[in-house]
Amino acid sequence: MKKIVYTLITISLLAGIISSCSKESLDPTLAQAKAVEGSINSVEDVKGLLYGAYNRITTTSYLGRDYIIWGEVRSDNCFSNGNSGRFVSAARMDWQDTFGGCWAQCYTVIASANIIIALDPAEIEGDAALLTHYQGQAYALRAMVHFDLLRYYGQMHNGDAADLGVPYITVYKGEDYAPARNTITEVKSLIEGDIATAISMMNTAQDDNSKELFTHWGAQALKSRVAIYFGDWATAITASTAVINSGNYSIIPAADYANSFLNDAAANSIFELAYSSVDNNNINGLQYMYRGTSYGDCEGLQDLYDAFDVGDVRAAGDMIGPDPDVPTRLYINIGKYPSYDYSDNIPLFRYEEVILNYAEALFRTADNTGALTQLNLITAARGAVAHTGTVDEDMILLERRREFCFEGFRFHDLARTGRDIPFVDAVKQTHLGPAYGSYNFAFPIPLSEMDANANMVQNRGY
């Protein structure tokens, strides 16, 4: 990965490391030039570099837009109407190897994290406990980003755990200029190790209340997400229980559901990306990809709308309905990322996810009563019909679909449970419902990476 990880990342870091340490430094456009080598001498310097890593997550090529929409249009939730030509290939699940995706951007975040992780505390001036907390956040970021890369670029769903994942990069500008892909098993182990280190290093007393930075509980939520993906049910129960027992979060009630997406740092928010009315992704952000006359490419399918009970606030008119600008678009996302000044923070980890992770883990370990109780904590707070009887996988996936629609979860939930992509609309869906195990469940490794790295192996089918 010499060309991307070492050349492109070095350039981007030298040009864009954040030097301001104000909370506004988390916003996407406030980076200032600051050389990396030899310039990190204080905890304040580390803070600026850490904010730079968060900054890189907010871009449209990663969690600021594309990563989320890929999870919707590659499923039975949404389709690309091609209004501005965006996400057409994604909706077909038809990629060429010239497609870069989020590969390069993810490795820039990892590079920033690796610089912070490698720092010697003895050489950094300032609060040692705060430095430890910052380094813990870097471990959490490194784990999350590698996990995100693995889910789209790893051969996760047409092989076995010995198949190829992604390169797990743990040093900045190391001596391995052409790293090979780690196996899925190796990547999983490294992710889990980084999360464990993050949790051990982040003291709750140092946690930031803005929800715009990883916290001790955010790392536990990440641990829960990873465990659910890999079917490690005991770990999912432990991590979910830790977050629940913290008492720091609550399920948003029905009356406040729509407004919760307008309010930064809501009671259910564990970790979110920071934006403001002056620093954001502008018309290229999620808001305009979901609605508006110029864009509005990502449109909901009727099958998604039909999945809701009558009276469920998640499908109320202020959440899903006709586009106010283009009424012929009947089932668009209105309520999530709602502000047309692009100022909404993007929630990445909500407390409701932890509850549903916990419910699934209880179901998988044969605790039907516990699973049903947790599922119905969500339905009770949404005006939906309570689940009854024996919990099954369909019930779990239905509730997750309804709770997280438009947030990028659906493709990953279908893939991790070995499901085909449902083909529910022969006119609007263009991927034709590929079967589980199809090569196109994984993205191609970008051609730029293949050309630069002699040890890189392309995914099957490309």
- SS3 sequence of 216-270: HHHHHHHHHHHHHHHCCHHHHHHHHHHHHHHCCCCCCCHHHHHHHCCCCCCCCEE
Strand extents, DSSP E, 2-60 = none
Coil, helix or strand at residue 457:
coil
Q: Which of 223, 28, 213, 1 is nearest to 107 (CA)?
A: 1
Stretches in the chain below the pLDDT threshold 50:
1-35
Q: Return the SS3 of 137.
A: helix
Which tokens belong to 152?
């789209």
B/e letters for 205-234, b = 16+ CB within 10 Å, e = fewer, are ebbeeebbbbbbbbbbbbbbbbbbbbebbe
Residue 357, in any domain of the structure: yes
Q: Does a structural domain hold residue 318?
A: no
pLDDT of residue 134: 98
Q: Which residues pair with 80 in a beta bridge?
A: 298
**Per-residue confidence (pLDDT) for residue 54, from 0 to 100:** 97
Separation CA 18–CA 314 (nearest Å): 38
- Give the position of tokens 């077909």: 92
Q: Give the model's pLDDT for residue 161.
A: 64
| Backbone angle region of 172, left / alpha / beta, with phi > 0 → left and psi within -120 to 50 → alpha | beta
> What are the percentages of helix, strand and coil residues in the chain, rounded to 5?
45, 5, 50
Nearest to 148 by CA among 170, 173, 135, 165: 165
Measured CA to CA, the distance from residue 212 to residue 58 in angstroms comes to: 11
Residue 157 included in any domain: yes
Q: Is residue 272 part of a domain?
A: no
Q: Quick one: pLDDT at residue 143?
A: 98
In 3D, which of 183, 134, 191 has the Cα closest to residue 162? 183
Calculated CA dihedral for residues 9, 59, 199, 46, nearest 10 degrees:
50
The size of the chain, in residues, is 462
What angle separates helix 351-364 from helix 368-380, to the nearest 10 degrees?
160
Of all helices (H) and strands (E), which one includes residue 117?
A: helix 103-117
**Position 330: which residue type?**
L
Give dist(CA 58, CA 136) in Å, integer: 20
What is residue 294's predicted lDDT score, i.e. its pLDDT? Answer: 84
Q: Which domain holds residue 422?
A: 2-263+347-452
- Asked if the structure places residue 278 within a domain, the reply is no
Which segments of 287-365 are extended strands (E)?
Answer: 298-300, 320-321, 332-333, 346-350
With left for phi above 0 and alpha for psi between -120 and 50, is residue 155 left, alpha or beta? Answer: beta
Answer yes or no: are the C-beta atoms of 59 and 279 closer than 8 Å. no
Domain contains 236: yes
- Residue 405 in contact with residue 304, Cβ under 8 Å? yes
CA distances to 313, 326, 345, 360, 417 from 389, rounded to whole Å, are 23, 42, 38, 15, 22
User: Helices (H) and strands (E) in the chain — how many of each?
Assistant: 17, 6
Which pLDDT score is estimated for 37? 52
Contacts of 419 (CB under 8 A, 6+ apart): 397, 436
Element (H, E) at 132: helix 128-153
Tell me whether residue 445 is in a domain.
yes
20: left (phi over 0), alpha (psi -120 to 50) or beta: beta
DSSP H helical segments within 251-324, as ranges?
Answer: 257-260, 286-290, 302-305
What is the total count of domains within the chain?
A: 1
CATH code, 184 = 1.25.40.390
Separation between Cα atoms, residue 26 and residue 36, nearest integer Å: 18
Q: Is residue 361 part of a domain?
A: yes
